[in-house]
Chains A and B, each alone.
Chain A
Amino acid sequence: MHDLRVEVGYDVLQANEALAEKNRRLLDGFGVTGFNIMGAIGSGKTTLIELAVEKLGDKYGIGAIAGDIVADIDADRFRLHDIPTISLNTGRECHLDAHLVEHAIEQMPLDNMDILFMENVGNLICPTDYSLGEHHRVVVVSVSEGDDMVKKHPMIFKTCSLVIVNKVDIAEAVDVDADKMADDALGINPRIGALKTSKITGEGIDDWIKFIEVNVNARR
């Protein structure tokens, strides 16, 4: 018997990154633009995706991946819009990763798609470290989470190209300054785009749709 030191050199996050790059290239090959939609539980991620599908469904081929501990509930909402949907039940995991998404993408009709929405598990921490193969990272926060929410979870805002401050119609009722949330995100990441939205009043929804269209068209 003797002891031996052996190099391993396996980085968990780099391994995920490599797989994410593979997913990205696959989407590139089919001209599909991927959006990783992140945000806390109940921030309105599913609703914002549904609104995009309603507005853009006639113009673009759209598919969706719903990730959650029990993902079928959101997936069923997407299926009502008659779009290809894969539900990723993560079971115990608190985020989607490139490996889970790889299997989901394999089952998607990429030939007929322009846009892939990947709705992440409701969480502002764990999804931060994991790329899925998306082209754009979007983080949704709702005013009901409190206007110190952004400053409490700075890393995720550093990694996103768009922050959506959602449910602004109830900001007054929950005594929250929606502008502060957007400003805090810009303070953390000056390159981030910021939108304020409400499904009820329709505020900002056109800008959300425009963000998607501009980025999809830019890659065509």
Chain B
Amino acid sequence: MHEYGVAMEVYEAVMDVASKNDATRVISIDLELGELAHINSEQLCFCFEIIAKESLAEGADLNIISIPPTIKCKCGYEGVFDSHSSSNSDDTKQCRALSDLALNMPCPECENSMPVLISGREINVRDIKIEVEENA
């Protein structure tokens, strides 16, 4: 829903680092996107493409690296919440599993405590690949 605003922030972070490193062009961007972030990756890429027009980042590949939720329980259990468990990679089932997590999913280990989410909501511009002059 707020993909445009997020794309704008991604663009600014990319351009900041690109210009500090005297880039002549941004080739690609690796962005970590938590599966529980309220962001649609296709819309994000579309918005970014529009924003980056006529800039160093025009045409850059925005690679989305999907980050599954990691949960941690008081009992000591820590692990990736498998949103594809007991199903294939069918989208509907995945969404169902994720909303189960957002509701109340007991710890898979001790089954009586509610684990906390330690990752899976990030929108992180991890790194960029840029083109620089040979003597730079």
Contacts and interface: CB of A to CB of B under 8 A. Distances in A.
A11 B129 contact: no
Contact of B130 (A4, A93, A190): A4
A1 B134 contact: yes
A13 B121 contact: yes
Given A1-B132, A93-B2, A125-B1, A6 B124 contact: no
A2 interface: yes
Interface in B99-136: 99, 102-104, 114, 121-134
12 contacts: A1-B132, A2-B131, A4-B130, A7-B127, A8-B29, A10-B9, A10-B10, A10-B124, A12-B125, A14-B122, A92-B4, A93-B5
Contacts, number: 97
Interface stretch (A57-65, A111-119, A151-159, A162-170): A151-159
B123 A12 contact: yes
B: contact size bracket: 35 or more
Nearest to B20: A6
Interface in B33-53: 36-38
Given A123-B1, A129-B121, A158-B102, A6 B38 contact: no
Contacts of B129: 3-6
Interface in A133-168: 151, 154-155, 158
B13 A3 contact: no
B126 to A, nearest CB: 6
Interface string A175-203: 00000000000011010000000000000
Given A3-B129, A6-B128, A187-B104, 4 more contacts: A2-B131, A2-B132, A13-B123, A188-B102
Interface residues of A, number: 31
Contacts of B64: none
A105 interface: no
A1 B133 contact: yes
A15 interface: yes
A6 B102 contact: no
Given A13-B123, A93-B2, A129 B38 contact: yes
B14 interface: yes
A9 interface: yes
B contacts with A: majority SS: mixed
A2 to B, nearest CB: 6
Q: 6 closest pairs, A vs B, by CB?
A: A10-B13, A12-B123, A11-B124, A154-B102, A8-B125, A10-B125
B17 interface: yes
A126 interface: yes
A126 B18 CA distance: 29
Nearest to A128: B38
